[in-house]
Amino acid sequence: MIGNRYNWLALFRALFVIVNPLRFFAAIARGQALPDVVVRTPTGHFRVFLRNYESLKTCFSVFCRRDYATSIDPPCEFLDVGANIGIASLYFLSRNPANRVTCFEPDRANLGFLERNLSEFDKRSKINAYALGLSPGLVSLFRADDGKYSSLIPSERACLPDQVECRVFDDALRETATNALPVVVKLDVEGLELDLVRSIEWRNHPGIWRLLCESTECAEVISREHIRRIHNGYVEDVIFKDTGS
């Protein structure tokens, strides 16, 4: 973690974001999990319930390193595709009291933590316990022990097969984009990002304002006019120019 140059500023920022930062730093240094972390946000203090050490690192990446950096305004509707235990969703919801989040998380071992983390936001959040892909039906989800790297693509980390429901990514975008708020899509699906982004005609979704994607090549396949930024070397932030946001 220390070897990553993007973490140095984030370590300093953690002093102000994390309540009881010494406990947090000690756990990071020892490679130990914590049951929870309390974070300061623009809308108050919130407790993040953690599943394991990987969750602790994700909390650091999202709240301190700001991998999905989001301003307070304007209020938005967020689609958290690959929500895991809800750390990014909690980050989005805590930026503005009018923000809303719709989560998509197929790994059933993550769902209890996801529900617990979003329990204070039940009126502004919705959890969908299925995957998003290119076609509907039952698919094999290859679960990882830590829950972080579960994917529809098998790998050394994701190798525990499970049958889950899959729905079409484009349909999910259409359903959410009917909201009056500008839409931000966060996409973290462990290797399927490019295929999903390529499957969409983004000009048919004028309500979508931003795409936050764990990739460095998805913007290349988007024909709709946009500005591309990179956060911390690996998260693409695609801002569409024609939404007026």
The CATH code of the domain at 69-240 is 3.40.50.150
Q: Is the pLDDT of residue 2 over 70?
A: no
Q: Is the pLDDT of residue 3 over 60?
A: no
Q: Report residue 177's pLDDT band, with 50, 70 and 90 as the boundaries.
A: low
pLDDT of residue 132: 97
Instruction: Please state the domain extents for the chain.
Output: 69-240
pLDDT of residue 178: 63
Q: What CA–CA distance (Å, rounded) separates 130 from 151? A: 12
Q: Report residue 8's pLDDT band, with 50, 70 and 90 as the boundaries.
A: confident
Percent with pLDDT over 90 in the chain: 92
Q: Is the pLDDT of residue 244 over 70?
A: no
pLDDT of residue 1: 52
For residue 233, count CB atoms less than 10 angstroms from its CB and return exposed for 0-12, middle for 13-18, buried for 19 or more.
exposed
Q: Is the pLDDT of residue 82 over 60?
A: yes
- Render pLDDT for 189-201 as a digit per residue (tens, 0 to 9): 999 999 999 999 9
Q: Is the pLDDT of residue 68 over 90?
A: yes
pLDDT of residue 243: 77
pLDDT of residue 91: 98
pLDDT of residue 94: 98
Q: Is the pLDDT of residue 180 over 90?
A: no
pLDDT of residue 7: 83
pLDDT of residue 121: 97
| Section 210-228 average pLDDT | 96
Which residue did the predictor score with more confidence, 171 or 178? 171
Task: Identify residue 191 by its one-letter amino acid code.
Answer: G
Residue owning tokens 């756990």 = 27
